[in-house]
Amino acid sequence: MNVSRRAVSIGGLGLLAASALTPAVAMDLPIADPFDGSGDFWNAVDAYIYGYPLVTMEMTRRVVTNVEKPEGSKGPMGHLIKLREYPNASFRDVTAPNADTLYTTAFVDVGHEPWVFSIPDMQDRYFLFPMLDGWTTVFQVPGKRTTGGRAQSYAITRPGWQGTIPEGVTEYKSPTSLVWILGRIYCTGTQEDYKAVHDLQDQCKLVPLSAYGKDWTPPPGQVDPSIDMKTPVRDQVNRMDAVEYFTLLAELLKTNPPSAADAAIVPKLAEIGIVSGNDFDKSKLDARFTRRIPQIAFGRIMLHFKYSDGDVKDINGWGYTTKTGVYGTEYLQRALVTAIGLGANRPQDAVYPTSLKMKEGLFSRVYEGSEKYVLTFAKGQMPPVRGFWSITMYNDQYFFVDNPINRYSISARQQLKTNPDGSTDIYIQHESPGADKEANWLPAPKDKFILMMRLYWPDDSPPSILDGSWVIPPVRKV
């Protein structure tokens, strides 16, 4: 379904934008459409959507790196951040945590000099270290699928950099100066496996090129007390008015310029005062629109979730997309993924079907812990992956659920029991289904919950979720 800008300017889009904001802001939306025929306004909306990933990445970087030393999920620029164990049900730092991989991450600025990232021999363990540019594009992804498990080193360089790369090091050219390394290493969660993965994390190295091969310790970070460390990043971005937003976007474009493929939008940016390499010229932006541009633009981003021409699929109550990681000029899709799943992998590496409601014919009903559900994989129809799969239980706020067996996700590592006909049932309920079925039990809260399936390195040959030849079964009430 294609939705024109004019058709949704005040109608469906205005309502959607209002629903994403506070009631006070919603009531302030105009009754009439003051934007009809205003090319500058719609150019500004397009510019907002175009820049949303870059601005969000920068705000994320500021919050993540605004510490003196690595601690928890934060660490200064150029420091490796190593998450050492899976969070429990009390964890509230980020939504939708996982209990399958331990993260090893870092933000680096390759504008001044390249950085060298080294990975130890992972042997047969599944891992991936996607590297995202400032626009959230996964420009390289060393890992089990792409480069194998051997020890490897990569020099990450900025656009136009020329120099000598050390022997045995592969150059990865980043399209932007800002780079986010977002590594994941598979871990079963046992104390023995934690120890093994910690050893691998500690063997990962990140150094500037000038320090490669030398004894180097990253300097402590500088804490900026003006940075808001409590408000979620998306809320910080969404509350900016257009002048504040475009001022930051113009500054970021100086070191993270548009790509050659973005040529068509560059003139639109210039018309509202954004020229790559220059400060934002706010005199070219109509002051009447400074507050409404973010409202309408974010509304269009969220509308893409509902009317996306197949970018977001809804099959048997499971919603997912296979258009992640590499976006080209699909700016709406890129902005949507930024808003709901910043840091998403390429689909060849991971797909994340999510189910908020049980599908019953024409109707959908939210999951309730007071009910009992089952998800059945037919014989030979387990999730087709070459990495791993899991189903994670979240409460209605996307946090883990406290339960008597401390199980937050279920996967093949639970040694699932099969039925006589070869099928496999996953029991999704608050109370234990009984000792004989507990291996297949995914504990639910007493009230509403959400399910997320993770498919890492999905098979690309049929049956495959990538081409639709494998279909996720529905969750049924029993």
Is 116:209 a contact under the CB 8 Å cutoff? yes
Q: What one-character-per-residue DSSP string does 242-291 give?
A: HHHHHHHHHHHHTTSPPPGGGTTTHHHHHHTT--TTS---GGGS-GGGTT
Q: Is the pLDDT of residue 4 over 70?
A: no
Torsion angle (degrees, nearest 10) of CA 53, 56, 60, 61: 70
Residue that wins the pLDDT comparison between 91 and 31: 91
Domain 68-211 has CATH 2.60.40.1610: yes
**12-58+231-307 falls under which CATH superfamily?**
VPA0735-like domain (1.10.3360.10)
Q: Is the pLDDT of residue 7 over 60?
A: no
Mean pLDDT of 232-237: 92
Cα–Cα distance between 450 and 289 in angstroms, integer?
A: 38
Is 156:469 a contact under the CB 8 Å cutoff? no
Which residue type is seen at 187?
Answer: C
pLDDT of residue 93: 73
Please confirm whether the linkage preceding 463 is cis (ω < 30° from 0). Answer: yes
Cα–Cα distance between 231 and 244 in angstroms, integer?
A: 17
**Where exactly are the structural domains of the chain?**
12-58+231-307, 68-211, 343-477
Neighbours of 76 (CB within 10 A): 21
**Candidate from 65-69, 309-313, 316-320, 473-477 with smallest mean pLDDT:** 309-313
Burial (CB count within 10 angstroms: exposed 0-12, middle 13-18, buried 19+), residue 142:
buried
How does pLDDT run across 155-213, given as a tens digit for each residue?
Answer: 999 999 999 999 999 999 999 999 999 999 999 999 999 999 999 999 999 999 999 99
Cα–Cα distance between 289 and 282 in angstroms, integer?
A: 12
Tell me if residue 375 falls in helix, strand or coil: strand
Domain 343-477 has CATH 1.10.150.50: no
Burial (CB count within 10 angstroms: exposed 0-12, middle 13-18, buried 19+), residue 165:
middle
pTM of the model: 0.90
Neighbours of 386 (CB within 10 A): 13
pLDDT of residue 39: 64
